[in-house]
A and B are shown apart, each in its own frame.
Chain A
Amino acid sequence: EVQLLESGGGLVQPGGSLRLSCAASGFSFSTYAMSWVRQAPGKGLEWVSDISDSGARTNYKESVKGRFTISRDNYKNTLYLQMNSLRAEDTAIYYCAKDRVAARTMNFHFDSWGQGTLVTVSS
């Protein structure tokens, strides 16, 4: 059974930093692209960033470019999101999500999601 477990969320002041982690199990982590998708309180879903299976290719939503960095450790089966210069509008539940098909480089859609970790940016 695929399991994705996010951690690292919390309350942070504007301009601060957080590092989210997503521990994966139940599938061959190193063969799937992974993404972070967020959901502001009471709002819809918003793709934030993705990373290829090897970690060589990354993509970001325009509003987080230069502030967020996605990475992965295929030995530890863990996905990360380093978030710097946080803004109030980054407040959301952050989900890690697995692409449905192995070894793809684009056209991602998500067949497994974690329960999410809440990031609150407020003074």
Chain B
Amino acid sequence: DIVMTQSPDSLAVSLGERATINCKSSQSLLWNSNNKNYLAWYQQKPGQPPKLLIYWASTRESGVPDRFSGSGSGTDFTLAISSLQAEDVAVYYCQQYYGAPPYTFGQGTKLEIK
């Protein structure tokens, strides 16, 4: 199975500042035939189901604010929030969907306000 490891486990960022979360996969998620990285990011607020933010490592889901961006390729990926808002407090997960199941998630990164 592909192992997804996020860092840090938690971070605290001041309102208006930039937050970055890293995700590393145990094998490349880049499919050479279409040059796409099979990596998604989700946001989960307390008591709510996850919400899809980013897919193909960098494509923002419809309706997601443009302060959220995804980058990276191969085995190393980053989710960035350019200017942290109070409503961004949540746990963030990366998920790989390369090939057949099992589809695996990172352990999560808890984002708080400093």
**A residues at B contact (CB < 8 Å):** 35, 44-47, 50, 59-62, 95, 100, 106-111, 113-116
Q: Smallest Cβ distance from A115 to chain B, in angstroms?
A: 6
Report B-chain residues with C-beta under 8 Å of the C-beta of A106.
99-101
B102 close to A45 (CB less than 8 A): no
Judging by beta carbons under 8 Å apart, are B61 and A111 in contact? yes
CB-nearest residue of chain B to A107? B97
B49 and A47 within 8 A (CB): no
Residues of B with C-beta under 8 A to A110: 40, 42, 50, 52
In the complex, which residue of chain B has the Cβ closest to the Cβ of A106? B100
Bound-state Cα–Cα, A45 to B4, Å:
12
B101 engages A59 (CB within 8 Å): yes
**Assuming A107-B97, A109-B55, what are 13 further A-B pairs, CB within 8 angstroms?**
A44-B105, A44-B107, A45-B42, A46-B105, A47-B102, A59-B100, A62-B102, A107-B98, A108-B97, A108-B101, A109-B95, A110-B40, A111-B61
Instruction: State how many angstroms separate the Cβ of A4 from the closest Cβ of chain B.
Output: 9
Shortest C-beta distance, A10 to chain B (Å), equals 19
Separation of A46 and B61 alpha carbons in the complex (Å):
21
Q: CA separation between A60 and B102, bound complex, in Å?
A: 7
